[in-house]
Structure 1
Amino acid sequence: MIENKRTNDPEGVRRRIIDAAYDAFVTQGYLATGMLELRERAFVSGGAMAHHFPAKRDLGLAVIRDRVAAAVRQTWIEPLRRCADAPTAIDLIFEAFIGELTQKDRVSGCPLNNMAMEVSQFDAEMRALTSAVFGDWHEALSAKFAADMEEKRAVGINPGRIATLVIAAYSGAMTMAKTSQDVGPLRDCRAELAALLAANYSRP
């Protein structure tokens, strides 16, 4: 049922629309999702939807800014900052993803990867936004690897290049897992990244 009553919480309505759109875009795709469906998912009127997001593109940009970027910060950037070194953080991140997806018994893929693959070819602003999120992710990984080098935990690595490898490996493994609906590629990727990084890290 669509909500027709006035609301005194416009920010709450906006969040509800973005939450519904984020879930739909990640699970079924940006291009496959219509605005009428999103109105029904969010339980809002056409007027409320038009007030906050006159076009689906406006909503897509908001989802990238408010939800996709936040998801990358929460799942990757914050753990990197909390952990003692990059390999520990990366292994814990993979462990968390594998555990969560196994419990859900469904793989929807990486939200950033899903959006980037759909929108980057036809919308320059969306491409710039998704690229900026990748950039923040890459910068956080590079900084962690550089700090490990500086503190003599790691030797013989190029922080920027190894950061690119980690992101590409994770993104590819997540896409494979989504395609097969099996976390096996993520398990393989976790094991191989751990072995690769162990060769360049000294352990007490």
Structure 2
Amino acid sequence: MIENKRTNDPEGVRRRIIDAAYETFVRRGYLATGMLELRERASVSGGAMAHHFPAKRDLGLAVIRDRVSEAVRQTWIEPLHSCADAPAAIDMIFSNIIDELTCNGAVSGCPLNNMAMEISHHDAEMREGLDAVFEAWHEALSTKFGTDVNQNRARNLNPNGLATLVIAAYSGAMAMAKTRQDVGPLVDCRGELAALFATKYRRAHR
């Protein structure tokens, strides 16, 4: 029965493999994870694994495209599009992440940052895939800051530079939180970014 289901649902098998890989890569790391372990976690045969992902790097690229990119889109890009201004979106994002990590009782780190730190020197194509995700994230932030300037919500603001600062601050705070297994660095980062934005957006909020 199980084999028939797998055979008749190749897309479901592929998703199961990618989901298992994403979870394991984030928690244990790409380089430390073997294909046999992923086969077992996804409950697929060797033939199914080889059919969908002949090499580990193929699976790594799929995880970047299908899961890491989607995580950044859902966590950061969509809220930036839906909130009134960048500070409101960023504060909400930090609040949601802090609440989720506190509820989980563990910090695995930022999936994008985890993979970037680990594999950027090992594979050029994977590095390019990760860079594309960073670029989309940076573009969303920069565009939102630029819109705030154009609509006179903010002053003395460099959209590109501030977008870089937000990504760097969040990534660093998440790395510290992962090391400590404590959301404190994210709480601190949220507060300091809010204080910075208050100086840039003061005129618009009066």
Do they superpose with TM above 0.5? yes
TM-score by length of 1: 0.97
SS at match of 1:168: helix
SS at match of 2:175: helix
SS at match of 1:199: helix
Higher helix share: 2
CA distance in 1: counterparts of 2:136 and 2:3, whole angstroms? 40
2:9 corresponds to which letter in structure 1? D
Corresponding residue for residue 122 of structure 1: 122
Report Cα offsets for 1:10-31 as digits up to 9, x if no partner.
0000000000000000011001
Corresponding residue for residue 181 of structure 1: 181
Corresponding residue for residue 68 of structure 2: 68
CA distance in 2: counterparts of 1:117 and 1:194, whole angstroms? 27
The reply on whether 1:203 has 2:178 as its aligned counterpart is: no
CA distance in 1: counterparts of 2:74 and 2:29, whole angstroms? 22
CA distance in 2: counterparts of 1:179 and 1:119, whole angstroms? 19
CA distance in 2: counterparts of 1:24 and 1:10, whole angstroms? 21
Q: Which runs of 5+ in 1 are unaligned?
A: none
Please, what is the CA RMSD of the aligned residues? 0.9
CA distance in 2: counterparts of 1:36 and 1:42, whole angstroms? 10
CA distance in 1: counterparts of 2:122 and 2:108, whole angstroms? 23
SS at match of 2:141: helix
Corresponding residue for residue 8 of structure 2: 8
Paired residues for 1:94-133 under 5 Å: 94-133=94-133
CA distance in 2: counterparts of 1:33 and 1:4, whole angstroms? 25
CA distance in 1: counterparts of 2:200 and 2:161, whole angstroms? 14
Count of residue pairs the alignment pairs up: 202
Report Cα offsets for 1:39-81 as digits up to 9, x if no partner.
0000000000000001110000000000000000000000000
Corresponding residue for residue 83 of structure 1: 83
Deviation at 1:119, TM superposition (A): 1.0
CA distance in 2: counterparts of 1:56 and 1:178, whole angstroms? 26
- Greater than 4 Å deviation, 4+ residue runs: 3-6
TM-score by length of 2: 0.96
Deviates more, 1:83-92 or 1:3-12: 3-12
CA distance in 2: counterparts of 1:92 and 1:4, whole angstroms? 44
Deviation at 1:122, TM superposition (A): 1.1
CA distance in 2: counterparts of 1:4 and 1:35, whole angstroms? 20
Paired residues for 1:47-62 under 5 Å: 47-62=47-62
Deviation at 1:4, TM superposition (A): 5.0
The reply on whether 1:93 has 2:100 as its aligned counterpart is: no
2:77 corresponds to which letter in structure 1? I
Q: Which runs of 5+ in 2 are unaligned?
A: none
2:108 corresponds to which letter in structure 1? S
